[in-house]
Amino acid sequence: MSLTFAATLAERGFDVAFELAPGETLAVLGPNGAGKSTLLTLLAGLLAPSTGRAELDGTVLFDVGADRRTLTEPRHRGVSLLAQEALLFPHLSALENVAFGPRSRGVDRAAARATALSWLDRVGAGDLAGRRPGQLSGGQAQRVAVARALAADPSLLLLDEPLSALDVTVAPAIRTLLRDVLADRSAIIVTHDPLDAFLLADRVLILDGGRVVESGATAAVLTRPVTAFGAHLAGLNLVTGRRTPDGFTAGDGWTVPLAGTAPEGSSLALAVRPGRVTVSRSATTAPGAVCIAAEVDDVEHRGDLVRLHAGGLAADVAPSDVVALGIVPGGRLFLGFRHEDASIYPVQGVREPGAVGR
């Protein structure tokens, strides 16, 4: 089912527009307060916009302007919301919880129960049909909640951090389940976990301050981010700069040769993985490489690696190298990477050159 959405909410500084193709799953990401939950509540009908219009497969969800105000009731929108918590009815069995959606649409009891049992079986919870929510584990309850959302046969499924309340040992199984049931289904998933975007979404929308700051196919956003948040999700260093006669030139003057036809003065971005950034105590002049002098801002332990941040870049080094090089916050060192390890591409709207380390 196709979705067109454009809405403002003045009191929250929210102004967002996008489209969703039939059968597409969109991951909405962004920092806290970016407007992700506002987007879902507007679609679900739990909040009215200041202005805007949203239409789902020919059904107007809302249409609000100076001389019009159409707000379709939530139960008539064809939208199901799967929240962080399962929120099952405590007095009903798992079967009756799942049958609630079909029953509320007028389906007779026997048919609703048959639909509910079918969905419970599909999410691997058929043997839980007779249990009440108080008898279910967190993972079991979330499986039932997924079945309940889908049994209502929504035109659009909204998922609000569906895995955040689950134990880390349970989340992978539910993520696999969602990957299966979301195939060819129109869905929007709000998440803080980039793994959800990687594995579940066809497209990514990044919000910040109530605005869309980045959007595109998941693979494109994860390989060619244009914002600091997108680079963080992708695990990349992002450096913005300009096209000059020498190639890509960063704000502090270092350059990378660049082939291609990007016009001089145009905005460019350079992405390089922290694992490809080297650290040394002395400057190197190796051909085909960049060398940048910087002060260490922070050092953090990450499993079998240590990530250091310096000069707007992040570099992953072995713990033994930290000791050997005497790396500490405030220390001076040199970071470098080979030209061939960097990806350079055009971006729009970059005002000032700079660097963002993951």
Q: Are residues 152 and 86 in the same domain?
A: yes
Q: Are residues 189 and 260 in the same domain?
A: no
Q: Are residues 206 and 237 in the same domain?
A: no
Q: Are residues 86 and 155 in the same domain?
A: yes
CA distances, 173 to each of 94, 121, 166, 218, 289 (Å):
19, 15, 10, 22, 43
Q: Is the pLDDT of residue 357 over 60?
A: no
**Domain end point (choices 169, 194, 223):** 223
CA end-to-end span of the chain: 36
**Domain end point (choices 223, 250, 275):** 223
Q: Which of 207-216, 278-287, 305-314, 338-347 has the lowest mean pLDDT?
A: 278-287
Q: What is the pLDDT of residues 273-283, one digit of tens each?
A: 999 999 999 99
Q: Are residues 187 and 269 in the same domain?
A: no
Q: Are residues 258 and 188 in the same domain?
A: no
**Domain end point (choices 194, 223, 252):** 223
Give pLDDT, residue 89: 93
The predicted model gives 341-351 an average pLDDT of 78
Across 285-342, the runs of DSSP E, i.e. the strands, are 289-302, 305-310, 313-317, 332-338
| Spatial contact of 8 and 49, defined as CB atoms under 8 Å apart | yes
| Spatial contact of 147 and 122, defined as CB atoms under 8 Å apart | yes
Residue 255 sits in a domain whose CATH number is: 2.40.50.100
**Which residue type, as a one-letter code, is found at position 285?**
T
Q: Are residues 178 and 241 in the same domain?
A: no
Q: Is the pLDDT of residue 354 over 70?
A: no
The predicted model gives 152-158 an average pLDDT of 91
Give pLDDT, residue 1: 67
Residue 154 sits in a domain whose CATH number is: 3.40.50.300
Total of domains in the chain: 2
- Residue-number span of the structural domain to which 295 is assigned: 228-356
Q: What is the pLDDT of residues 251-266, one digit of tens each?
A: 888 999 987 778 999 9
Give pLDDT, residue 262: 83
Q: Are residues 140 and 35 in the same domain?
A: yes
The predicted model gives 234-251 an average pLDDT of 93
Q: Provide the pLDDT confidence category of residue 358 given band limits of 50, 70 and 90.
A: low
Q: Are residues 216 and 249 in the same domain?
A: no
Q: Are residues 324 and 205 in the same domain?
A: no
Give pLDDT, residue 120: 93
Q: Are residues 178 and 256 in the same domain?
A: no
Query: Is the Cα torsion angle 347, 25, 61, 46 positive or negative in sign?
Result: negative
Q: Are residues 187 and 248 in the same domain?
A: no
